[in-house]
Structure 1
Amino acid sequence: MLRWPVAPMLAAPVDEVPEGPDVVHEPKWDGWRAIAFRDSDGVYLQSRAGRNLSTYFPDITRAIRESIPAGAVLDGELVVWERGRTNFAQLQRRVTAGRALLRLARDSPAHLVAFDLLADAGGEVTLELPLSQRRARLGRLLAGAPTQLTLTPQTADMRQVSEWLTHWTVAAGIEGVVSKRLSGRYEPGRRGWWKYRTQITTEAIAGGVTGNLRSPDTVLLGRFDRRGKLRYTGRTHPLNAGQREELGTMLSPLRAARRRGAPAAHPWPQPLPPAWSGQLDRPEPLPYVQVEPTVVVEIEADVAFEHQRWRHRVRYARLRPDMPVYDVPLLLGEEEGYFGET
């Protein structure tokens, strides 16, 4: 019988969706990876990093306990649906809900979208079986389960994949697709699958940098809201040498205020709060260099955009010296759409 922790099998990033006679594809859900262990004593939910998530998802542990036989181990993604779309922020609220956890679980129930079976009923380990057989067993196991436990869609049809990437990324909040070999076994900790993230190309304003002004390491990005205030929207991956040199020649230090030598006003705090910079694993303020918000850069980002920020770091593509900052799409409210007119 499998016992926790088990390192989940992982996916390596790719620039295009792989094809082949033995390859199938599944939506890449925007949630928390979880391995669910159903033993005779109850249910244990393990995060990707090996942490215990059971306490935060009493609705899921109850559903598994009531419908999944002892010994089974499922791999999947925890998601919360809101108006037909995944809501990552609702997952994060589970950790900080405290006494309100049960009410939150009732009002915004979680779902486990299962995509693999590590052990079958009775504890029969299935790691060495091909994916096609693990998938068939998983389907039978979930046949009578409640809707909170569901089997992820799977297809070999590239037209269906195109439909997911074109429409589901906006309508349902998926991040892309994960591709797997039907003949592949489950290899804990190994990147034996492939993941393709849906990307957008758009523009943002440089409001600060880490490192130094002439050779920045990363760029802190912003967009104006409807009131004309520059809002922080995310941070880039580290720049390469050419990008640091290119950008460093264009940035200007924040101008000193004219009245009585007062410090210049910048719309973002210094240092950047941990909640802004997304450092959930290392919650420390981020020191940075504030710059005049006059430089526009082109970026490539995935579709994980919540609370008016890109949740993952974005890729710096190039400078846009031809574009005034006021031509950058406005930061709209979530009910209006995430990316303005891009």
Structure 2
Amino acid sequence: MSPARRTEAAAGPVLRRPVAPMLAAPVDEVPEGPELVHEPKWDGWRAIAFRDADGVYLQSRAGRNLTTYFPDISRAVRAAIAPGAVLDGELIVLQGGRTNFAQLQRRVTAGRDLLRLARECPAHYVLFDLLADPDGQVILDRELSQRREEQRSVPQAYARVRCAVLLAGAPAQLTLTPQTADMRQVADWLTHWTVATGIEGVVNKRTTGRYEPGRRGWCKYRTRITTEAIVGGVTGSIREPDTLLLGRFDRRGTLRYTGRTHPLNPTQRAELAAILSPVRALPRRGATVHPWPQPLPPSWSGQLDQPEPLP
């Protein structure tokens, strides 16, 4: 056995990246029970933070490297968290007390403006789980209540991790997400926080549950706010649409791009192909009338790896 393997065997298993994060299955109503607790579902990017001896590595839900896009969070984790720890949480950007998903997407295409953007719109890392302690010991098999308590009981490693919801105006960019078993508190979150802070709903977890990478062992209840949207375009082609591009009119009547759907299934593609039509050209000019550029800029689509214009 090599010296490296002997050291690892003596110290116990090491949590190596990438790690598939534990996921939540959607439910139609918030479950209740004696061992259930609830947390806000933040509108951001899931990220697992590895505090290594030589720095910090931020991994996305899909296993991609987010470190480059969040130098502010990397600095905060490096300054506050001892080497060996592995954290699970959500990257968010707050503006006016609300989450702003578009500002997260801008990080990918900021280029040389990244550091300026990080200063003007700093990100925050909302923690909700601990996968390895500051000594590198893997604690996936511990109960959630123990893993969460571990985040509060290591003052040296978590000096800047405090139970606060918003960090606007504060120097620390790390926070422990609130958690409750009180259904009145959950109702308040769903009624008021969805509007005030931009949360998407609540995540429901068992206090006795272990962390199971890649498994949908939690539940999530999404608040549903309906609004009208315009299908302003598609990716793929008119005959073979892949996703729909949605927009809403602003106060001046301009159709503003707001996002795109998940990939369409074969039935949806066939149904839409039958009713879609190309953009009409102006008579005698040959130009098309559409407020969106062709192709869409990379910043509009929020691509992470090698962002390119979206046809």
Is contact 1:214–1:245 with CA below 8 Å preserved after alignment?
A: no
Is contact 1:10–1:189 with CA below 8 Å preserved after alignment?
A: yes
Name whichever of 76-85 and 125-134 sits farther off.
76-85
Once residues 168 and 254 of structure 1 are traced to their aligned partners in structure 2, the CA distance between those partners, rounded to angstroms, is: 40
- Is 1:149 matched up with 2:174? yes
Distance 1:202 1:152, change over 3 A: same
Once residues 246 and 63 of structure 1 are traced to their aligned partners in structure 2, the CA distance between those partners, rounded to angstroms, is: 47
Distance 1:271 1:127, change over 3 A: same
Counterpart among 204, 207, 216 of residue 191 in structure 1: 216
Shift of 1:224: 3.0
Once residues 122 and 220 of structure 1 are traced to their aligned partners in structure 2, the CA distance between those partners, rounded to angstroms, is: 47
- Is 1:160 matched up with 2:185? yes
Report the counterpart of residue 290 of structure 2 in structure 1. 266
Once residues 55 and 61 of structure 1 are traced to their aligned partners in structure 2, the CA distance between those partners, rounded to angstroms, is: 9
* Counterpart residue type for residue 253 of structure 2: G
Q: Percent identity?
A: 74
- TM norm structure 1: 0.70
Report the counterpart of residue 48 of structure 2 in structure 1. 35
* Counterpart residue type for residue 11 of structure 1: A
**1:141 alignment partner, SS class:** coil
Report the counterpart of residue 178 of structure 1 in structure 2. 203
Report the counterpart of residue 122 of structure 2 in structure 1. 109
- Is 1:229 matched up with 2:254? yes
Question: Root-mean-square deviation (CA), in Å?
Answer: 3.3
Is contact 2:234–2:245 with CA below 8 Å preserved after alignment?
A: yes
Is contact 2:58–2:67 with CA below 8 Å preserved after alignment?
A: yes
- Is 1:203 matched up with 2:231? no
Distance 1:277 1:134, change over 3 A: closer
**2:91 alignment partner, SS class:** strand
Unaligned runs of 5+ in 2: 1-13, 162-171
Is contact 2:48–2:87 with CA below 8 Å preserved after alignment?
A: yes
Distance 1:154 1:254, change over 3 A: same
Distance 1:236 1:108, change over 3 A: closer
Once residues 279 and 114 of structure 2 are traced to their aligned partners in structure 1, the CA distance between those partners, rounded to angstroms, is: 44
Is contact 1:216–1:239 with CA below 8 Å preserved after alignment?
A: no
Once residues 240 and 19 of structure 2 are traced to their aligned partners in structure 1, the CA distance between those partners, rounded to angstroms, is: 42
- TM norm structure 2: 0.76
Counterpart among 56, 65, 77 of residue 64 in structure 1: 77
Once residues 110 and 20 of structure 2 are traced to their aligned partners in structure 1, the CA distance between those partners, rounded to angstroms, is: 27
Distance 1:198 1:102, change over 3 A: same
